[in-house]
Each structure stands twice: as structure tokens, then as C-alpha cells.
Amino acid sequence: MSYAYQIKTKREYNEAYKKSIEDPEAYWEEVAASFIWKKKWEKVLEWNFTAPDIKWFKEAKLNITENCLDRHIEANGDNPAIIWEPNNPDEKHRVITYRQLHKEVMQFANVLKHNGVQKGDRVCIYMGMVPELAVAVLACARIGAIHSVIFGGFSAQSIADRLQDAQASFIVTCDGSYRGNKVIPLKPVIDDALAQCDTVKKVIVLNRTHTPVSMIKGRDVWWEDEMKKAELSGNLQCNAEEMDAEDPLFILYTSGSTGKPKGVVHTCAGYMVYTAYSFVNVFQYTLGDVHFCTADIGWITGHSYILYGPLCAGATSLMFEGIPTWPDAGRFWDIVDKHQVNILYTAPTAIRSLMGFGISPIEGHQLTSLKVLGTVGEPINEEAWHWYNENIGKGRCPIVDTWWQTETGGILISNMAGITPAKPAHATLPLPGVQPVLVDEHGNEITGNNVNGNLCIKHPWPSILRTTYGNHERCRTNYFATYPNLYFTGDGCYRDNDGNYRITGRVDDVLNVSGHRIGTAEIENAINMHTGVIESAVVGYPHDIKGQGIYAYVVCSNIHGDETEMRGDITQTVTRIIGAIAKPDKIQLVNGLPKTRSGKIMRRVLRKIAEGETSNFGDTSTLLDPGIVEEIKNGKI
């Protein structure tokens, strides 16, 4: 399989970009011709950013799994679709060919149907990084059920909130998952979530860790038993449901600046076309290459660049269950050599954490199979970029710094490996079809180079979010209302003299901790649930490994035990309400927060204190009690 839409030279990039801006519909129509459709579109694009109302490939019919699986069977059925590397290197890895994956997906799709799942139903998937997670996701897509994968680190409360928001009636989970030397319980967390949620009719449980779990009669069934039943029924086929181009494919929850996560909705056709297109072009994928994206499928990176993008392209995608530092900090490099990985796509936080172990864990590894390196999720600092380039890429692998978001579905700004030049710490240039603009706070476009502004996108690309589940108005106000006729990313950005883009970080109250997005309001809500807490304010501060750390200022009414105990209780509360990923790194107990006379917390001051600044807090004259700033500063931890 070669890719008609693959850009192979800088000149081709320039031409493609020009064409995609001058005539976006013609450009994407040509790209879309490389996919399998049950019925072609009547119109390539219909859109307005006011509603917003965006329709790509209007009236087309398709099923994404026919593009991910069926189409590869004849020519490439025996090629590995997924190489699965378990957490424990002593356990045998698995190689799943396209033929096998196709069979398993159809079998599990039949299991879903037997258990009552119908087109349009929401299925929540809460599993570790096992191949069955990929099977579950694709089986949903096969029958037109809308999957909503929840990262294994979220708490019962977070799951319950998401289940309710999505009105999900089915769950697929595991008894537990392995991460490093830990066994993480999953089914017990689901049980806790279900105590507050009565929409769920069936829970399908995969046995992975042999952890004892309570299986509720009539509700809970074992994956293995159901798969056996499906096999014995003799019906091994499951036809791909005919989906409309704009039918929802999945919901993925992500944090914003309000306290409640939003269910970002992606639809079938545009998402398929753009993830495959961006995968092939950014990484310059060649058939046979082994692509290792280290993300978890619980995040958008895993959806787009472990599953849908690579599988649509007939690629071999490596899926890793474990963590980079167990059994030792050479685990990634062992995997690269063992499976002859050609493309490695990871997060700056992982690179920085591995840098901390020095180069000895790399020694003894060849790393000669590597051709392309990538980063995603947060700005990469130059030091980490050079370390990655020199020690992992040995100076011969292009590094793609890929900027995108849950809402964008796929990579929007990035260099293309070996085609367009890299620049350390810069995402560089937009992909064809992507029109970035920088605006000032009044929404005026900032033209020219060597300028800073808020990053917006002018014209829809195929995998732009369509709505936020159950609340379209929220989608409008969050992304399309700040600046008229523009999609607002929430990121600050610099454009250099050559037109390269460099993302400078969020401009809203959203933190990026270890490449994961988390809203400060969400953490504050969780802290405020503790009985001894009156109020709190959360800000980010620079953290050597995580990029940003979480700093919480908390006002307590009464402190049980000593302050350390109180901090422990607060941490525990956040873990229970959101999950361990939102645990504050620092908690400072304070007597009050710096508030203006109208009651607004002056976060700017709190951010400066958390960053270690001791003066230059700007204008604090509107504060109700300016003395509190000094007090907080003196108590900084």
C-alpha cells in the first residue's frame, strides 16, 4: 500500500499547503479518495464557526473499521497490526496480525451485540494497555456504538461523572492492570462508580491480573466467557455498520477552565481521513515500519496515533503496557531493540524523567532501527530536545515536535520528518489545511513575524471537534465565542522570523502536568470537598520533570492533627475525587487568599509566589487585604 496523499519533498509540502488553503475542498476530496467508502459524499465541506456547525464529507457513508481492518486483509493480512509488549519483560509479547485483529474485533463486536449494545449507545472503556483494549474500541466502532475511553488513573467519582454525562449503559473493563511493580485495581473502581450510577446495564470484565473481583449477577460478565459463547455460536462475521460521515465515533473527556470535564465528540469520516493523513505525513511512515507511540489509549494521542491513524494506514503499531522506568530506566531502549522500532513518539516529560538517569541505561543498546523521533503533549525544552536528539536519535533521526489537542483530533502544527526542517522547541509549520492565526486579547489578528499572541485556527480541518457531548453551547462558548469566526486553542504562541510556530503554554486556567491537561478549577473543587477546607486556589509552577507542577493554596477552618496530616488528607481527597494524576505537588496552608474587593482571587500573584518570585507582583492596589500577599510569600514551601 502506498499513500497517494504522502508528501515527499519540501516542494511538495509547499504546493500541498498552497492548494489546501486556496481550495480546501478540492484538496481534501483528493485525500479522501484513498479511503474505502460505502457511499461517496455529496458535499466536501459545509461549515460555520458561529453555531458552530461543521460537516465534512456530507452524506458519505462508511465504517472506519473497514479502513482499519478489512481493506488490509487481502494484501497485508499477515502483517502485524499490533505488537503488544507486556509490563513484565519476562511475559511473552504478542504479535497480532491484521487478520487476527479483524477476527477478534468481529467476535467482540458480536459479544457487544449479544449483550444488548446498539448503534449510538455509549460504551465506557476502562482498561489497562492490553490488546483487548484496542479490540474493544474497534468493536464499538464496528457496530456504531460510541466509545468513551477513560484513562486507568481516574477515580470512581470521575468515572461516575463521565458515565452520567455520557448516559453510558455499558462498560468494558479489566479486573486490574499492571504498571511497573504495581497491580492497579480497575473493576473495584468501576464498582464504586456504579454505586452512584444506575444507567449501566452490563459490565464486561477481562481477566488480566487475576485480582479477586465481585461479579454482580445479571450485570457483570467475563470477557473470556462471552468470547467463547460468540465463537460457539458459529457466527464469526460481524458486518460493519453503515455510519454517516458525521455520526459520532467517540467521546473523550478533557479538562477545561471550568470545574467539569467536557466530552469532546469526534465523528467518523473527518477524523478517519485526518488521523491517517497526518500519521503518514508527519512521521513519514513507510509500510513495514514499526511505530511505537508510548501514550496511553486513555488519551487522544493513543486514540489517533496508536489506533486509528496507524491502522488506517496498514501500519504496525507497538502498544506497551508498562512504564519507562520499570524494571529499569532502559525499558524503552530494550523495546526499541527487541522489536526493531523505527518511529518513537513520546512526551517531553518522559524524556526529562529518563534524562535524570543519565546515559548508562542507554548503553548496551543499538537503537539503530530508529528513523524518526517525535514528541507531543507539552512544550519541549531545548535541553531535553538535544538530549533526545544526541543520545536516542544519535543525531541522525529527525525529531517531529507535534502540536495538537484532544479537540483537534490530529496533529495540526509540526515539522514533517526529514521533509520540513525541525527547530528545537518549535512545533514549526502548519500541516496542509491548517491556518493558524495569532490574535491579541481583543481578537485583532497579529500579522508579520517575530510576534506573540493567542493561537487560533481560521478554517476547519477534517478532524476538528464537532460538539461537546450533551451541551453544544459549551462547545460554542469554549472554543468559538472568544474570537468571532475563529477556533480558539487556549494556547499562547510565538511566530519566529521564518514563520515557525512555538507554543508557549496555556493562556487559560488549565495546567499541563506531565503532558496531561488538568483544570485548576477541577482540582480546587476536589480540595474544597474536604470538610476542613473553606476555600482554595490552585496554580501551576515550573517543574523539572512534569513541565508544570500543581501548587495549592488552601484555607482551612479547622486542622485535624498537624499540618502534615492535613496536607495528607487533602491529597487523599483529590485522589479520591479526581485521581492520582491531579495530586498537588505542594500544598500551602494559608489564612486567606489575595482577593480583590469584588471577591476575585488574584491568581497572577499566587502564580508568581509559586514560581519563587519575591517581589514584582504588579499592581496589588485593588486587593482587599494587601498584607496577605506578604504573609503567603513568607510561608511559601
> Which residues are near ligand PRX by CB under 6 A?
254, 300-301, 376-379, 401-406, 427, 489-491, 503, 506, 512, 517
Between 276 and 590, name the residue whose CB sits nearer to ligand PRX.
276
Q: How far is CA 343 from CA 191, 375, 514, in A?
A: 39, 11, 21
Between 115 and 504, name the residue whose CB sits nearer to ligand PRX.
504
Angle at Cα 151 formed by Cα 218 and Cα 506, nearest 5°?
Answer: 145
Between 165 and 401, name the residue whose CB sits nearer to ligand PRX.
401
What minimum distance in Å lies between the beta carbon of 506 and ligand PRX? 5
C-alpha cell at 378: 507539552
Between 256 and 324, name the residue whose CB sits nearer to ligand PRX.
256
Phi, psi of 144 (to 5 degrees): 80, 15
Asked whether 419 and 13 are in contact (CB, 8 A), the reply is: yes
What minimum distance in Å lies between the beta carbon of 301 and ligand PRX? 5
C-alpha cell at 399: 525529531
Between 301 and 389, name the residue whose CB sits nearer to ligand PRX.
301
What minimum distance in Å lies between the beta carbon of 427 and ligand PRX? 5
Between 254 and 267, name the residue whose CB sits nearer to ligand PRX.
254
Between 241 and 378, name the residue whose CB sits nearer to ligand PRX.
378
Helix (H) or strand (E) holding 270: helix 268-283
Partner residues linked to 554 by β-bridges: 536, 589
Nearest of 630, 632, 530, 626 to residue 586 by alpha carbon: 632
Helix (H) or strand (E) holding 335: helix 331-338
Asked whether 132 and 206 are in contact (CB, 8 A), the reply is: yes
Angle at Cα 166 formed by Cα 310 and Cα 194, nearest 5°?
Answer: 105
What minimum distance in Å lies between the beta carbon of 123 and ligand PRX? 22
Between 72 and 262, name the residue whose CB sits nearer to ligand PRX.
262
Between 254 and 420, name the residue whose CB sits nearer to ligand PRX.
254
What minimum distance in Å lies between the beta carbon of 151 and ligand PRX? 10
What minimum distance in Å lies between the beta carbon of 346 and ligand PRX? 12
Residue 120 CA to its chain's centroid (Å): 23
HSE, side-chain direction, 13 A CA sphere, residue 424:
11
HSE, side-chain direction, 13 A CA sphere, residue 628:
20
Asked whether 402 and 414 are in contact (CB, 8 A), the reply is: yes
Collapsing DSSP to helix, strand or coil, 30 comes out as helix
What minimum distance in Å lies between the beta carbon of 426 and ligand PRX? 9
Partner residues linked to 623 by β-bridges: 596
Between 248 and 490, name the residue whose CB sits nearer to ligand PRX.
490
What minimum distance in Å lies between the beta carbon of 509 and ligand PRX? 13
Partner residues linked to 589 by β-bridges: 554
Distance CA 282, CA 63 (A): 24
Collapsing DSSP to helix, strand or coil, 373 comes out as strand
Asked whether 138 and 105 are in contact (CB, 8 A), the reply is: yes
Q: How many CB atoms lie within 10 A of CB 286?
A: 14
Q: How many CB atoms lie within 10 A of CB 210?
A: 9
Phi, psi of 602 (to 5 degrees): -85, 85
Between 246 and 491, name the residue whose CB sits nearer to ligand PRX.
491
Phi, psi of 568 (to 5 degrees): -60, -40
What minimum distance in Å lies between the beta carbon of 515 and ligand PRX? 6
What minimum distance in Å lies between the beta carbon of 479 and ligand PRX? 11
Within 8 A by CB and 6+ apart from 561, the residues are none
Partner residues linked to 222 by β-bridges: 205
Between 140 and 427, name the residue whose CB sits nearer to ligand PRX.
427
Between 143 and 503, name the residue whose CB sits nearer to ligand PRX.
503
Asked whether 540 and 551 are in contact (CB, 8 A), the reply is: yes
What minimum distance in Å lies between the beta carbon of 596 and ligand PRX? 28
What minimum distance in Å lies between the beta carbon of 455 and ligand PRX? 8
Within 8 A by CB and 6+ apart from 228, the residues are none
What minimum distance in Å lies between the beta carbon of 410 and ligand PRX? 9
Asked whether 297 and 134 are in contact (CB, 8 A), the reply is: yes
Distance CA 492, CA 477 (A): 18
Between 301 and 536, name the residue whose CB sits nearer to ligand PRX.
301
What minimum distance in Å lies between the beta carbon of 100 and ligand PRX? 29
